[in-house]
Chains A and B, each alone.
Chain A
Amino acid sequence: MEQPNVKGLLILSFTAACALLAFYLSVIKNVTVVYPHLFYIPLMLAGVWYRKKAIYIALFLSAVYILVTYPLWVLDPDLSVSVLERSAILIVVAYIIGFVSEKRAQVEAELKETKDYLDDVITSSADAIVVVDMAGIVQSWNKAAEDYMGYTAAEVIGTHNKKFFADPEEAERIMAIVLREGELKNHRTVVLTKDNKPVYINMSAALLKDKKGVPVGTVRVSRDITKEVELEEKIKERRNNLNLILESMPDGVYIVSKDYDVEFMNKVLIDEFGDQVGGVCYKVFHNREAPCPRCKNTEVLTGETVRWEWHSRRKNKTYDLVETPLKNINGTLSKLTIFRDISERKRMEEELNEAKEQYMAIFEHTLTALCVIEQDKTISLANKEFESMSGYSREELAGKNWTDFIEAGDSERVRNYCDERRKGGAEACCLFTLVSRDGALKYVNAMIEPVPGENRCIASLLDITELKKNEEKLRETIEKLAELDKMKLEFLNVASHEMRSPLSPIIGYASLLEPKLTGRERGYIRRIEKCARELEEMINRMLELARIDGRKVELNLEEFSLSEVVRKVIKNLEPEAKAKSQTISSVTPELKIQADKQKTAAIFTNLISNAIRYTGEGGRIDVMVEDRGEDIYACVADTGIGIPEEHLPKIFERFYMVDTSLTRKSGSLGLGLSIVKEYVKLHGGRVWATSDLGKWSKFSFTMPKGQLTNGGE
């Protein structure tokens, strides 16, 4: 309040001085021309100080001027015009001065306001704002700078900015860049706080120029980005870890930026496609000028993970691609792609499919009806043959219980068959009657096998209806044959009786007649008797063989002396041999066996009488018995006509004829050898023949000694 008063007093005193001077000049010195210029001094001061109010001062001054000069007007009326004119000029000048001063004051106020605002901004800015002059001396240092640097403005203004940087050269470098470029953007550097602690900052700087455009300094805006840098480091570390993981992955991995730049490739992929990091993916991998039509970059960059299969024609490989967004440090997204080479899997899949198809074809076209039975007994798969066997289509079969197709009488029995099979209980084969769609009954032999490691079974069904019918026929035939066999035995029984009956008077009368005859007649009657006896023997043998076939013959075991039996047989046959001048010799150790005595005798009788029959006049017959421990061995050898080798195995067959010439001479071998074979067999022995045609024959057999009471002396 005092200042305007001082100013007012000053203006007033100037005005008074001017008025006095004007008065002095005009009145005392009588200078007619009084110049109002003196009044310009207070007027200007007023204009400067009071601006628009200067107009009032100008009016006041004009009034003073008129007053002062009034005496002159009286003297010189012309002068009044001049005085008024000059007063008007004075007022106008005062107005102009006032207006101009007002404008200037306004601009100044605005400037001040701006400056205050800027100061506020600078002071309150979170970013450090520092002004450094061209010499590197700090001119301005705001609050934020104080905060993170620890220095107060007073401490640093006027000092060189070099000491703030971790790298002392940095101050020069920044200055150089700013001078060269006019600005510096997002420059990252490290500064040292008052406590000598490094702080990461992000600095932007601009060149300060004076009105003439001469650079006067730089203003630097910096931000403490230690936290961001630390975060960045962490992310980088993580990224490095990620890369490490990606490197050690057996799959190929690459990272592509949103602009298709290959940012990363792991070793697997580099080995495969070469190091293409830095290249544009569609160019380096696909030789394209534009992104691939199937590229998933857009989807992935919106945050989606995409999985798809890609076949590389170049490599002739198929890859399973998993593409997923990857957040970069700067917040942008890249695409991380994992390449898994599935060519081998694909190939195996194809092979597997092929094999499956093959097996399915076999399954389908095999001529056995096949079906797969699940644990719940439903049919899950059936082949063509199964369809044609059951008459149901596989659509109709699917899901049905397999026992649904089995006749009610059998289905209960086989209901749990599969379960039992799985437990290893039931037999592999099961028989049942299948009811086909048209109601036909089919007799089926099913083989049901559990599939290893699974709960299902595979069943193969064989339609044995025909077989069954044949079996039935066969059984009927067998029964018929047995019946026939029985009938044959019956017939032979009756026949032998009936044939024997007429033989009876033949032999009977012959025996009555014989003593009454003499000479040739007696010979005749003997021959009749002998032939009748032969016929009787034939009948006996036929009957015996039929009885053997009908299992009517049993062994009547007893212990007896074999040698004795052999001797007796030889004795009985000796007359026959003598009639042909043959000699029978025997080598028989004293030997007891347990056997059927009668049948043993029959064996020897048959063999020896055969030998007699087929050996010529004067031949020799050798009978030999050997003790061979558990068994006895016996043979009857002769010097007869022999048997052709090819006939040897067959001579024990019934009515086997060796050859016609032989037959003519001696007839059929008859049934004697068959009886021998059967009797030996009944005893558990073996019989065979050896021969040298025209020279000799030898019939051998073995027979167990049987259970002897006394170890067999």
Chain B
Amino acid sequence: MKKRILIVEDAIYMREMLVEMLGAEREEYEVVGFAVNGKEAVEKYKELKPDLVTMDLVMEEMDGIQAMREIKMYDPNALILVITALGTPEQRNEALEAGADEYLWKPFTVKNLSDLLKKLLRKEKE
């Protein structure tokens, strides 16, 4: 069964690239929706109930941290992969504390993404 993925990302080219990258393994993953800010992300999560969320952190309206907190509050089992250009240990910690399950630092290759997704899904099974 394909994993249903919600992409939360304000930059359109990043959304498109993620779709491309996930499309490389289309038998594994299916992009079920997009959100361009945190608020939308929470709404979309509740609506779509995806298996996994890729979450940008720096966004308008509501940032990724807040969005993650709300999603995790709604669904503590939600799987969230943070994909961000913020990389300091503090920022990383903040994200993990807010509920991020994995952290992918921009820039990244297609391999980085697929490795991390596999790791995350494996962790979920356990």
Contacts and interface: CB of A to CB of B under 8 A. Distances in A.
Contacts of A493: 86, 88
A183 to B, nearest CB: 140
Interface stretch (A65-73, A409-417, A505-513, A574-582): A505-513
Interface residues of A, number: 23
Nearest to B90: A552
A508 B58 contact: no
Contacts of B13: 505
A496 interface: yes
A95 to B, nearest CB: 178
A127 interface: no
B111 interface: yes
A512 B21 contact: yes
A524 to B, nearest CB: 16
Contacts of A536: 107
Query: For the complex, would chain B's binding face be called helix, strand, loop or mixed by DSSP majority?
Result: loop
Nearest to B86: A497
Interface string B11-49: 101100100110010000000000000000000000000
A569 interface: no
B107 A543 contact: no
A230 B112 CA distance: 140
A333 B85 CA distance: 122
Contacts, number: 60
B11 A501 contact: yes
Contacts of B17: 504-505, 508-509, 512
Given A508-B107, A508-B110, A511-B111, A547 B11 contact: no
B14 A505 contact: yes
Contacts of A552: 88, 90
A666 B39 CA distance: 48
B110 A512 contact: yes
Of listed B20, B24, B86, B107, residue having the most chain A CB within 10 A: B107
Interface residues of B, number: 20
Nearest to B83: A504
B85 A512 contact: no
A500 B88 contact: no
A532 B107 contact: yes
A269 to B, nearest CB: 101
Interface string B51-92: 000000010000000000000000000000000011110100
Interface in B84-123: 85-88, 90, 106-112
A505 B88 CA distance: 20
Contacts of A364: none
Contacts of B85: 496-498, 500-501, 504
B120 to A, nearest CB: 18
B106 A504 contact: yes
Interface in A506-557: 506-512, 529, 532, 536, 540, 543, 547, 552
A503 interface: yes
A547 B87 CA distance: 12
Contacts of A511: 108-112
Of listed B108, B110, B112, residue having the most chain A CB within 10 A: B110
B88 A543 contact: yes
A289 B86 CA distance: 119
A515 to B, nearest CB: 8
B87 A500 contact: yes
Contacts of B21: 508, 512
B87 A507 contact: no
Interface string A407-441: 00000000000000000000000000000000000
Given A501-B11, A512-B21, A512-B24, A506 B87 contact: no
Contacts of B108: 504, 507-508, 511
A496 B90 contact: no
B106 A503 contact: yes
Contacts of B58: 497
Nearest to B110: A511
A543 B111 CA distance: 25
A506 B88 contact: no
B90 A504 contact: no
B88 A547 contact: yes
Contacts of A512: 17, 20-21, 24, 110
Contacts of B109: 507-508, 510-511, 529
Nearest to B18: A508
A526 to B, nearest CB: 11
A176 to B, nearest CB: 143
Contacts of B11: 501
B107 A496 contact: no
A500 B20 contact: no
B51 to A, nearest CB: 22
A552 B107 CA distance: 23
Contacts of A501: 11, 14, 85, 106
Contacts of B110: 508, 511-512
Interface of B: 11, 13-14, 17, 20-21, 24, 58, 85-88, 90, 106-112
23 contacts: A493-B86, A493-B88, A496-B87, A497-B85, A497-B86, A500-B85, A503-B107, A507-B108, A508-B17, A508-B110, A509-B20, A510-B109, A511-B108, A511-B109, A511-B111, A511-B112, A512-B17, A512-B21, A532-B107, A536-B107, A543-B88, A547-B88, A552-B90
Task: Give the 8 A-B residue pairs with the shortest CB-CB distance, closest first.
Answer: A511-B109, A500-B85, A507-B107, A504-B106, A504-B107, A503-B107, A511-B110, A497-B85
Interface of A: 493, 496-498, 500-501, 503-512, 529, 532, 536, 540, 543, 547, 552
Given A501-B106, A504-B17, A552-B88, 6 more contacts: A493-B86, A496-B87, A498-B85, A511-B108, A512-B21, A529-B109
